[in-house]
Amino acid sequence: MIIAVDGPAASGKGTLASGLARHYGLPHLDTGLLYRAVGLASAAAVDGPDLEPTAIAAARSLDAGQLTDLDALTAAETGVLASKVAVIAEVRAALFDFQRNFALQPGGAVLDGRDIGTKICPDADAKLFIQADSKARMERRARQLEARGVAVDRYALFHQIEERDARDMLNPNGGFYPAPDAHLLDTTLMGIEAALRAAIAVVETALALKAGGQSPS
């Protein structure tokens, strides 16, 4: 069983994907970490003429050891670097096999990101596209960072998230839109437990429709 969870920055897709993985006993991949690792490895070249070749080389030589420094990877600035390397088609192509192989492991997997339902796993058994109001998302990310002792300028964070969302949505190579068979889940007014219950209900419905030979759309 493959479950695809997509959505904009700080929509709660990672938290939901990890809850779904726990519920169904499946492994989980946060695909944003791959782009964040490539962004970090290309930081010295960002906004300069060498960004493309640097990022492409970094994506092609990425290894699992680069996905462990969560403090550096999850920093807000690293998200911006990630979205700048994520527009490069060759970077996306270089990261494709790792994600696809993770999805195809025996028993299945849960993956979260931007293009899981559209590009990485168009064949997923259940697809969720998580939405939440941008102020709610900013507040969630602010509290998440503050819980780690990071000082947050909410005004700057709001604009940074909006700018990153815009870059992601306009990314011609990105596939960041709900797949036609994705279920939209707006969690603006939901806590984590309520959102997880709603997501499980979506997955159960998708599985039941599949077992009955019907398409969810």
Smallest Cα–Cα separation from 190: which of 149, 141, 130?
A: 130
Binding mask of the shown chain, residues 141 to 180, with x at each position contacting ligand CDP by CB under 6 A:
x--x-------------------x---x-----x------
User: According to CB under 6 A, which one of 2, 41, 51, 86 is a site residue for ligand CDP?
Assistant: 86
Which helix H or strand E contains 141, and what residues bound it? helix 134-146
Q: How many CA atoms lie within 13 A of 118 on its CB side?
A: 14
Residue keyed to tokens 């911006």 = 80
Task: Determine if 19 is a binding residue for ligand CDP (CB under 6 A).
Answer: no
Task: Determine if 183 is a binding residue for ligand CDP (CB under 6 A).
Answer: no
- CA dist., res. 127 & res. 75, Å (int): 27
Q: Which stretch binds ligand CDP (CB under 6 A): 6-14, 42-50, 58-66, 202-210?
A: 6-14
CB 85 within 8 A of CB 54: no
Query: CA torsion angle for 210, 211, 212, 214 (degrees, to 10)?
Result: 10
- 143-145-151 Cα angle (round to 5): 100
User: According to CB under 6 A, which one of 2, 4, 20, 35 is a site residue for ligand CDP?
Assistant: 35
In whole angstroms, the minimum distance from the beta carbon of 197 to ligand CDP comes to 11
Residue number, 194 or 208, with CB nearest to ligand CDP: 194
Please tell me whether residue 126 adopts helix, strand or coil conformation. Answer: strand
- Closest-by-Cβ residue to ligand CDP is 32
CB 137 within 8 A of CB 73: no
Which helix H or strand E contains 165, and what residues bound it? helix 154-170
Residues of each annotated binding site for ATP: 7-15
Task: Determine if 12 is a binding residue for ligand CDP (CB under 6 A).
Answer: yes
User: According to CB under 6 A, which one of 4, 58, 59, 195 is a site residue for ligand CDP?
Assistant: 195
Residue number, 27 or 208, with CB nearest to ligand CDP: 27
Residues of each annotated binding site: 7-15
Give contact residues for ligand CDP (rule: CB under 6 A). Answer: 7, 9-15, 31-32, 35-36, 79, 82-83, 86, 113-115, 140-141, 144, 164, 168, 174, 187, 190-192, 195
